[in-house]
């Protein structure tokens, strides 16, 4: 039925997931790491941010499962069809690469208008000259092809929208109760003896008792804030879900594409840039930083020289220069990229690498400094007294003690990279213009600012999506840093 396609960035995203899974297993087995993560989850803001982030991640992942749909027999040109065309072995696949998200959002993609329309509008945003059946020409706001097309009477618009939102809210409330209850049942901790009466024979705390505790904000992990966030998310998503079938909730852009669709598709780009960039630079930063700090001497001099040189080139210029060079390479070798999706994907990957090259220097310097400190630690000296080899010492004694810095760097870099993508795309050295991204959205929307009346919705959508993505990433990163940076835990901070 379909042919799975794994683009380069897909492969790396999967690799990243594998790494995360491995890390998860490690954390489960190691008590100190578990304790640190518990500290992260005790932060209500981090817990809420993680939920929001995971929704974004889910969308991004759905957009990462790529395939080429089989062409149905009807769409295969008859002239070319051989007798066995219907058989599976000769199935033909479309040259267009689609993702699972595309399939889910197909109704949105197929219902494009001619040009701009405001959110939830039933009519176009600008007057057009329309020929009436009697041959007269008038300038008026034409009805949209899809937006609110089901309304028989335009007066019903407000009522219809309200009803849909209301239905969505009711559904959200029901769903919230169900999910909350499931969460409470699943997360009930072991009841430990003592003061509280046990209502059940089981060793677990009763659900009622636990939910009361959660509600009062007394559970160890602040599940209350998670549930509140969940409530808000459901109250946002479900009404929109109710409106989507008949309206353009966030309006349409210049060529009539649904802005909600564009925003959702942009998420993957932002996430890929934010995560893969750090992933591809990590090996360099780790290896070089550790080598410089551990071996010192000329190795240190050389590595320091390398990263100081790279760092002294202003970031944007190095990126611009590299992307310019890359553009030349891509454009002079069209034979490398059979499809536009592949070309855009290659450019995205290359951008990750280029951003990675410019951003590894900071982490490398941090790691070098920490290694310099660690190598003088007594346990490293003890390992040396056992004659343990250098590389083994680095792997067993230094690397594990650097991982918290790496983790902090990864989460802290994420939001910066998402913001950088927008700027770079604006400058013209970002992702491929054919690729959906917040940068390209802003860039296009910027030109619409001059219109009278102003087209505000694409810009606002990009703003809102980016803001919540970056804000939750920032909040989460802060919590991770606080939990993993031992310096902050000395001397107990005030609450």
Shortest gap between Cβ of 294 and other proteins (angstroms)?
A: 14
User: By CB under 8 A, which span of 76-84, 123-131, 405-413, 486-494 interacts with other proteins?
Assistant: 486-494
22 contributes a contact to other proteins by CB under 8 A: no
366 contributes a contact to other proteins by CB under 8 A: no
Output b/e per residue, 269-301; b: 16+ Cβ within 10 A: bbbbbbbbbbbbbbebbbebbbbbbbeeeeebe
How many chain residues touch other proteins (CB under 8 A)?
80
Q: CA torsion angle for 212, 217, 219, 223 (degrees, to 10)? A: 100
Nearest to 271 by CA among 94, 22, 472: 472
In the region spanning residues 37 to 76, those forming contacts with other proteins, defined by CB under 8 A, are 42
459 contributes a contact to other proteins by CB under 8 A: yes
336 contributes a contact to other proteins by CB under 8 A: no
| Residue 138 vs residues 2, 121, 129: alpha-carbon distances, Å | 48, 20, 6
Quote the distance between the C-alpha of residue 86 and its chain's center: 39
Closer to other proteins by CB, 134 or 452: give it: 452
Shortest gap between Cβ of 121 and other proteins (angstroms)?
A: 21
Helix (H) or strand (E) holding 327: helix 315-332
298 contributes a contact to other proteins by CB under 8 A: no
- Which two three-digit tokens encode residue 146? 């899809």
Closer to other proteins by CB, 144 or 383: give it: 383
Quote the distance between the C-alpha of residue 223 and its chain's center: 23
- How many CB atoms neighbour CB 378 within 10 A? 8
449 contributes a contact to other proteins by CB under 8 A: yes
CA–CA dist 431, 305 (Å, integer)? 31
Query: Read out DSSP for 54-70?
Result: HHHHHHHHHTT-EEEEB
User: By CB under 8 A, which span of 99-107, 171-179, 275-283, 415-423 interacts with other proteins?
Assistant: 415-423
423 contributes a contact to other proteins by CB under 8 A: yes
CA–CA dist 33, 276 (Å, integer)? 24
In the region spanning residues 234 to 273, those forming contacts with other proteins, defined by CB under 8 A, are none
DSSP-derived letter for residue 221 is S
C-beta separation of 48 from 226 below 8 A: yes
Q: Which residues contact 339 (CB under 8 A, 6 or more apart)?
A: 95, 96, 97
367 contributes a contact to other proteins by CB under 8 A: no
411 contributes a contact to other proteins by CB under 8 A: no
322 contributes a contact to other proteins by CB under 8 A: yes
175 contributes a contact to other proteins by CB under 8 A: no
Closer to other proteins by CB, 84 or 194: give it: 194
Q: Please compute, for residue 238, the number of CA atoms within 13 A of its CA located in the half-sphere on the CB side.
A: 19
Strand partners, 69: 2
User: By CB under 8 A, which span of 67-75, 98-106, 115-123, 314-322 interacts with other proteins?
Assistant: 314-322
- Which two three-digit tokens encode residue 366? 């941090």
DSSP-derived letter for residue 133 is T
Shortest gap between Cβ of 401 and other proteins (angstroms)?
A: 6
338 contributes a contact to other proteins by CB under 8 A: no
493 contributes a contact to other proteins by CB under 8 A: yes
Closer to other proteins by CB, 103 or 448: give it: 448
User: By CB under 8 A, which span of 50-58, 77-85, 217-225, 250-258 interacts with other proteins?
Assistant: 217-225
Closer to other proteins by CB, 32 or 135: give it: 32
CA–CA dist 416, 137 (Å, integer)? 52
User: By CB under 8 A, which span of 145-153, 244-252, 358-366, 376-384 interacts with other proteins?
Assistant: 376-384
Of 259, 383, 409, 479, the one binding other proteins by CB under 8 A: 383
Closer to other proteins by CB, 230 or 466: give it: 466
Of 260, 429, 435, 483, the one binding other proteins by CB under 8 A: 429
Shortest gap between Cβ of 474 and other proteins (angstroms)?
A: 5
Block residue for tokens 């296009």:
444
453 contributes a contact to other proteins by CB under 8 A: no
């Amino acid at each position: 039925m379909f042919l799975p396609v794994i683009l380069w960035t897909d492969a790396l995203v999967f690799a990243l997931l594998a790494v995360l899974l491995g890390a998860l297993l490690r954390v489960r087995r190691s008590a100190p790491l578990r304790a640190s993560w518990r500290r992260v989850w005790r932060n209500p803001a981090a817990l809420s941010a993680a939920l929001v982030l995971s929704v974004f991640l889910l969308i991004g992942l759905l957009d990462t499962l790529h395939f080429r749909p089989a062409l149905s027999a009807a769409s295969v040109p008859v002239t070319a069809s051989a007798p066995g065309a219907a058989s599976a072995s000769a199935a033909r696949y479309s040259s267009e690469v689609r993702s699972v998200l595309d399939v889910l959002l197909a109704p949105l993609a197929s219902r494009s208008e001619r040009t701009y329309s405001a959110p939830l509008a039933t009519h176009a945003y600008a007057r057009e000259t329309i020929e009436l059946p009697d041959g007269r020409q008038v300038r008026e706001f034409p009805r949209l092809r899809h937006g609110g097309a089901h309304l028989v009477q335009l007066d019903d618009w407000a009522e219809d929208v309200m009803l849909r939102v209301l239905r969505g809210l009711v559904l959200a409330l029901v769903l919230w109760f169900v999910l909350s209850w499931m969460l409470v049942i699943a997360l009930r901790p072991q009841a430990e003896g003592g003061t509280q009466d046990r209502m059940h024979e089981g060793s677990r705390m009763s659900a009622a008792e636990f939910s009361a505790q959660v509600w009062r904000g007394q559970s160890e992990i602040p599940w209350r804030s998670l549930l509140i966030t969940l409530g808000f998310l459901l109250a946002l998503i479900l009404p929109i879900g109710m409106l989507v079938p008949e309206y353009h909730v966030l309006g349409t852009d210049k060529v009539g594409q649904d802005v909600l669709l564009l925003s959702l598709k942009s998420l993957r780009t932002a996430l890929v840039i934010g995560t893969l960039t750090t992933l591809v630079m990590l090996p360099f930063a780790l290896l070089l930083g550790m080598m410089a700090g551990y071996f010192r001497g000329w190795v240190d001099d050389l590595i320091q020289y390398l990263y100081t040189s790279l760092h002294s080139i202003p970031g944007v210029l190095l990126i611009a220069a590299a992307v310019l060079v890359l553009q030349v390479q891509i454009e002079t070798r069209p034979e490398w990229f059979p499809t536009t999706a592949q070309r855009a994907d290659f450019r995205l990957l290359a951008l990750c690498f280029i951003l990675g090259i410019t951003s590894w220097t900071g982490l490398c310097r941090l790691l070098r400094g920490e290694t310099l400190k660690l190598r003088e630690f007594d346990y490293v000296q003890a390992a040396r007294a056992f004659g343990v080899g250098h590389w083994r010492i680095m792997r067993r004694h230094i690397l594990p003690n650097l991982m918290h810095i790496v983790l902090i760097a990864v989460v802290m870099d994420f939001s910066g990279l998402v913001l950088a993508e927008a700027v770079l795309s604006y400058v013209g050295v970002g992702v491929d213009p054919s690729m959906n991204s917040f940068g390209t959205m802003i860039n296009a929307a910027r030109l619409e600012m001059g219109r009278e009346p102003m087209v505000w919705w694409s810009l606002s959508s990009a703003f809102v999506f980016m803001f919540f993505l970056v804000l939750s990433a920032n909040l989460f990163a802060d919590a991770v840093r606080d939990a993993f940076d031992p310096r902050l835990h000395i001397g107990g901070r005030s609450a």
